Chains A and B, each alone.
Chain A
Amino acid sequence: MPRRINITRRRLLAGAAATGLAAPSIVRAQGTGARAPLKVGVLLPRSGFEASIGQDCQRGVDIAPAILRSLGLPELTVMNADTESNVDVARQRAEKLINDGAQLLIGAFDSGQTTAIAQVAEQKGIPLVINIAAAPDITEQGYKFVFRNFPTAPMILGDAFENQMELFRIIGSAPKSVVFMHVNDTFGTAMAKGINAVMPKFNVPYKIVDEIAYDPTARDLSVEVAKAKGSNADALLLVSRLNDAMLITRELVKQRWTPQAILSMGPGWYEDQYLKTLGKLSDGPISFVPFEDPNKKLAKSLQAALAKAYPGLNLSTNHVYTFEALLIAADAYKRAGTSDPKGLADAIRTTNITDNVSIGPGIQFNAKGQNDKLKNGAIQNRGGKLATLAPKAAANAKPEWPMGSYANRT
């Protein structure tokens, strides 16, 4: 805590310099021994408007060390930094972490903050493993030290339609028309832009009768839902966030409309808080999202670790991919046998982890640093738990279709 507030410029610089300059020497001292823990800087938006997600991701970080140890992977020293949901702070924190000796960076959920960090990482030659960020551009910039183990918006869309088609085959029916509602933020817009390009590649049986974009800071979605209801579509196709997913559900109940299905292609509808807050009303929606494969061994141990550390919490996408980023780091460190950033980056490039948590064949990166093998799952809310419906390899339940009327639940 600052003792006094009237700090002169000189004293301020001196103070900052003292904290800043001391760090690199520690790195050099530790960097020589291969067995020393790898210093991993984790940048997450833990305050500001993305605090909720950032702090959820952080849980994935907190439960990771024990699991990694049990896998026989080398120790990691995690250095946490808060980006405050702000691009410039993200950049400054990244510089600070590297300065304090971080040998690898992980972050940062938000595409803007991630890009700002990516530049620092690239410039310093420190590998960055992106936990979550869907903007396609990030891995199209020619970065050499930036890796992303998360699907891009077009990948998410492609898988969503593939899984929907599989679902419709299993059920033997499909909606004829949908209304497409999406939040007008970075992710929502990227998805909305991608949909026209991706959808024609699949023989999707329904037509989009209306597209409704809404404000990410919307306080009230009654108009949006009334408009959707007025379009008389069979089902709702959505890209939303947690808070608006809850708002939309409430409005559906109050406006007495239960669509045949709620098909979500983003966060919100399967998240823990959604299930907890809405109780019985949370049942039914199907989410087509990057998710865990519940049949994988590591997924089970991650679930167990989470249940122990945060009882009552369901595993979320945030936990899964943040954990996997640390997994990638530890794995690369083990194989590289050095904390030299260049060596680490080369090791990451040749990553081939098949025993992972998320759906799909495993973790590999293409030349651009993107894991293009990632697969989404289709998951449905059932009695406060999540059931995986597709793809076949990860499925553990049959779909409930059409969803039960909201009117009969209370």
Chain B
Amino acid sequence: MTALLSLKRVSKRFRGLLAVDGVSFAVSAGDLFAIIGPNGAGKTTLFNMIAGAIVPDQGSINFAGKPIGGLPADAVCRRGIARTFQIVRPFPALTVEDNVIIGALLHIRDVGKARTRAGEILRSLDLFEQRNRIAATLTLPDRKRLEVARALATEPRLLLLDEVMAGLRPTESDRMVAILRSLNRDNGLTIVLIEHVMRAVMALASNVLVLDHGIAIAQGKPEAIVRDSAVVQSYLGAEPV
């Protein structure tokens, strides 16, 4: 089976700092893939390169068999990769519904149909009651879910989630885990997530990649990763599960 997303020796340098250093990995369709690592390990940079926000210096990124490295963000999204931002960025002055409609309009040209679709997504993420509120007035967990909703509305084949659990209380985080699992299992959506909350990673991920100082130091099933001595030393040692 060919991978849905594959990266080969991708590197990115900012001024002197090598933020991502020759990272390769592959995500197969239907996978729920987690990227973990300490702060500054290069996780978000890696995400930004996949999503087209940053052009890689070296290496290739392939999605569904075609190279996407260096494509602009909107083109990447139209190919079927949607993302959320580490620091949430809903359209602040617009309503919750309008936020999601904008996502839905990518593939649905009719505004009325996009609104219907947005309603379905909002329902599935428990945001329907809030659809007429201005996005800026939502609580953080709601804004995080709103961003997921907007991303889902673009009908992606692959969803990139940048720390959607960060800052959530355990109950909220569990709710998010349930939503993601359902998206993955029931809808067959491939998900790549960056996460600090190891509890969520262990509960969700089918594969884990560990980054440290821009280098992929380990990759495998979550159970195996937890036992990996290098990982424990560099990362888990500092922040026990």
The answer to A–B direct touch (Cβ < 8 A) is no
B contacts, CB < 8 Å to A: none
